[in-house]
Structure 1
Amino acid sequence: MNVEFLGALQDLEREKGISKEILLEAIEAALISAYKKNFGSLQNVRVHIDRATGEFKVYSRKAIVEQVADPRIEVSLTEAQKINPNYQVDDVLESEVTPREFGRIAAQTAKQVVVQRIREAERGMIYEEFSNREGDIVTGIVQRMENKNVYVDLGKVEALLAPSEQMNGETYRYSDRIKAYIVEVKKTTKGPQVLISRTHPGLLKRLFELEVPEIHDGTVELKAASREAGARSKIAVYSKDENVDPVGACVGPKGMRVQAVVNELKGEKIDIVKWNPDPAKFVANALSPAKVVTVDIYEDDKVARVVVPDYQLSLAIGKEGQNARLAAKLTGWKIDIKSESQAKTAQIAADSYEEYDEEYEQDYDYEDSYDEAYDDEFVDENDAEAYADDEYYDETDAEDAYDDYDDSDSGTDESSDSPKPADADMNKSRP
């Protein structure tokens, strides 16, 4: 090895982006494998490459012991102290054993080790690069399609666009340039695997960041996004600067900014609404383009009950419930939509139910108070009515009192000396 060799390593570092130190460590490991291939696999050796000159040396390493069991990896304390008196048991004795040349097989082994280490270093660098870009947008070129999977060339690595991450109705042709969202980066035995998506809501956010400078510099915040890929999307934007209209900034002059995003998403419709910290106002904005009359928020159930004009009901719900569904995803609230006539009918029914419930409670209270009158013995109908508001009555006691009165012809109770009126109408007092 010489200075030319170090120059080659520097060129390789620039081309592959792999550190020169990693390459030198790979070559040292390769030389160790080559030496063991030629001069015995059980020997313990160390290879050192001079970083300035490129010269390499091989050192045999032997453990110092009292009694030698294997001379290939051990040396006696007596022999070691002949070289250096300071050696002790369990120290390591190193001696240079640099060969003049390696055999053909050993050289081939070294080459394989170097190539393998370089490949592993490349994979590690690619994994680190793309794992840090998870949640970012990338541009790639379609390479091939296999079993509905689309493989996209990202330069250093080939990304996978699975069928579940492809937009409905979108076709991919060889050499097409597309933008995609990095969902996940996996480390596999064949190198890093990059999974990308064309349906993720994050792709919508990143595209607006590219097209709208106000979002990129932080003047406008993209608070939330909901998406049904290939059909329709909604985004909520907000600006702390009162002089900046967040919706207008995203739309752009003559709609140029939003149109660029729509073109990239193959004609997907995009609703841009203004975010509001008040949930009621935010829900009303999210149902755009429908106009909202009232919004009632129920915090405990996380439900928003919305009333819209009769002619706006179908617009608020959308085709197959799409508008309401996207608004619910955007706001995080369950949305119950009713027209004004439906809300009025429901209110009338609720009021009628409350009136009936109140009347039922009043009747129930009257019957209870009337029954309470029979808790004590009574003499006549007037006494029963007098107690009707105070005491509780057991029906069995009333019947016994009535029977006693009915059996008395003279107007005197057999079980009591107290007279009772003969004309007392007990039927009126019974419940």
Structure 2
Amino acid sequence: MNAEFIEALNQLEKEKGISKDILLEAIEAALISAYRRNFHSAQNVRVDIDRESGKVRVFARKTVVDEVADPRLEISLEAAREISPSYQLGDIVEIEVTPADFGRIAAQTAKQVVTQRIREAERSIIYQEYVDREEDIVTGVVQRMDNRFFYIDLGRVEALLPLSETMPGERFKQGDRVKTYITRVEKSTKGPQIFVSRTHPGLIKRLFELEVPEIYDGIVEIRSVAREAGQRSKIAVSSRDEQVDPVGACVGHRGMRVQTVVNELRGEKIDVIPWSDDPEEFVANALRPAKVTRVEVDEEQKVARVVVPDHQLSLAIGKEGQNARLAAKLTGWKIDIRSESEAENPAPEDAEAEDSATDHPPAADDPEEAVPESEESSD
């Protein structure tokens, strides 16, 4: 190694942000192993690289003793004082033992160490970049797939899209561009692993942030999201400015903004509803497009009993209970839906089981599963 090598390390430090001193320390440690391996030496040695010239020297380190038991590790006091009269018992004497052809070994070892450290540094930079982007949206190109993942090229790294995190019936081919939501970033021996999703509720939030400037600017806020990926979603929005209609801002002129999100999600229907601090009003809003006659809430049981016109009952419940189920997830309330005629003339068994959920739809999920996803919700 020579001064040009030191200059190359200086350049690496500027370009890659890898400390030259850390690199040199790593090379010195690797050279100790290389010396012992190549010269079959069990000596206690130290390798020194001159920080200016790049010259490499190897020193055997021996302890000063009265009687030498192992000459590889010890030196007598008499021999030590021939080197320097100041040595005392217990001191460490360093004697240069640099082999004649050690420069070639040093160069090879240094190249390996530097290459490895550059690889580790680049992996660390990529990991840090993407771990800071968890719960964010990224756009990539589909490279390939196997029986577990789609592999999405994000530029400097591949993301893993599990087949279970794609929407029903959704398939990609090589070269397709796709937007995904980063769910987690993990370190591995082969570098950072980035897991993404197409079904996560957070994807809707991020897509709306891209399309609605009022959300990006903080004027409109997405308060809650409920999603059945590939089928239907509901988002609840509010505004910090009384002059800005949060629903209108998200829907856009002639529905263009919400339609852009729908197109990205391959036709998934999205209901945008106004958030309310009043649970009765919020539950009524969440059941849209059905019209609600009245809502009674049981704060203790976290149950909302909803009455709708007879002709709105099937709409409020939705196909296979979907509308009621999404409303429950969105609001965090169990929802018991009844028609006006049922409410006026309850069946005897219904009167006895007044606290139970409605038999019509799976009116709501368990409240633990129905907590509003305010942190992951998206518009």
TM-score (norm 1): 0.73
Instruction: Please tell me whether the aligned partners of residues 273 and 286 of structure 1 are also in contact (alpha carbons under 8 angstroms).
Output: yes
Unaligned segments of structure 2, at least 5 residues: 354-379
Distance 1:114 1:276, change over 3 A: same
Aligned position for 1:312:
312
Residue 407 of structure 1 corresponds to: none
Residues 193-224 of structure 1, C-alpha deviation per residue, up to 9 Å, x if partnerless?
22111100111111112222221221111111
Aligned-partner Cα distance in 1 for 2:62–2:214: 68
Q: Establish whether residue 191 from structure 1 lines up as the match of residue 191 from structure 2.
A: yes
> Is 1:326 aligned to 2:301, yes or no?
no
Residue in structure 2 matched with residue 301 of structure 1 by the alignment = 301
SS at match of 2:296: strand
CA shift at 1:225, angstroms?
Answer: 0.8
Hey, what does 1:236 align to over in structure 2? 236
Q: Secondary structure of 1:174's match? A: coil
Task: Supply the distance in 2 between the matched residues of 1:274 and 1:182 (Cα, whole angstroms).
Answer: 27
Partner of 1:392: none
Distance (whole Å) between structure 2 residues aligned to residue 187 and residue 82 of structure 1: 54
Q: For 1:71-98, what per-residue CA distance to the aligned partner results, in whole angstroms no more than 9, with x for missing partners?
A: 3334445555555566565554444444
Q: Which runs of 5+ in 1 are unaligned?
A: 354-431
Alpha-carbon distance between aligned partners in 1 of 2:333 and 2:171, rounded to the nearest angstrom: 35
Structure 1 residue 130: Cα displacement: 2.2
Superposed, 1:14-413 pairs within 5 Å as 18-65=18-65, 67-76=67-76, 79-80=79-80, 83=83, 91-102=91-102, 108-346=108-346
Match of 1:4 in 2: 4
User: Does the aligned pair in 2 maintain the 1:34–1:102 contact within 8 Å?
Assistant: no
User: For the structure 1 residues 103 and 17, does the alpha-carbon distance in structure 2 shift closer, same or farther, using more than 3 Å as the test?
Assistant: closer
Deviations 1:203-249 (A, max 9, x none): 11111122222212211111111111111111111112211211112
Q: What is the rounded CA distance, in whole Å, between the counterparts of 1:301 and 1:258 in structure 2?
A: 35
Q: CA deviation at 1:175?
A: 1.4
Q: Deviation at 1:255?
A: 2.2
TM-score by length of 2: 0.82
Shift of 1:349: 8.5
Q: Residues 18 and 202 from structure 1, CA distance in 2 versus in 1: closer, same or farther, beyond 3 angstroms?
A: farther
Deviations 1:311-337 (A, max 9, x none): 111111111111111111111111111
Change (3 A) 1:285 1:103: same
Structure 2 counterpart of 1:122, one-letter code = E
Describe the SS at the equivalent of 1:188: coil
- Cα drift, residue 126 of structure 1: 2.7
Question: How far apart, CA to CA, are the structure 2 residues paired with 1:274 and 1:115?
Answer: 56
Secondary structure of 1:346's aligned partner: coil
On the 8 A contact 1:18/1:122 being kept in 2, the answer is no
Shift of 1:43: 3.0
Give 1 or 2: higher helix fraction: 1
- Is 2:144–2:151's contact at 8 Å kept on the other side of the alignment? yes
Q: Using the aligned pairs only, state the percent identity.
A: 67
C-alpha displacement of 1:60: 3.5
One-letter identity of the residue aligned with 1:324: A
Mapped to 2, the partners of 1:3 and 1:103 lie a distance apart of 13
Provide closer, same or farther for how the CA distance between residues 289 and 85 of structure 1 changes in structure 2, counting only shifts above 3 A.
farther
Between stretches 21-30 and 218-227, larger displacement belongs to: 21-30
Q: Distance in 2 between matches of 1:234 and 1:90?
A: 77
8 A Cα contact 2:56 2:106, kept in partner = no
- Paired residue for 1:387? none
> In the aligned structure 1, how far is the partner of 2:105 from the partner of 2:4?
24
Relative CO higher for 1 or 2, CA cutoff 8 Å, sep ≥ 6? 2
In 1, Cα distance between the equivalents of 2:350 and 2:198? 48
Q: Say which SS state the counterpart of residue 267 (structure 1) adopts.
A: coil
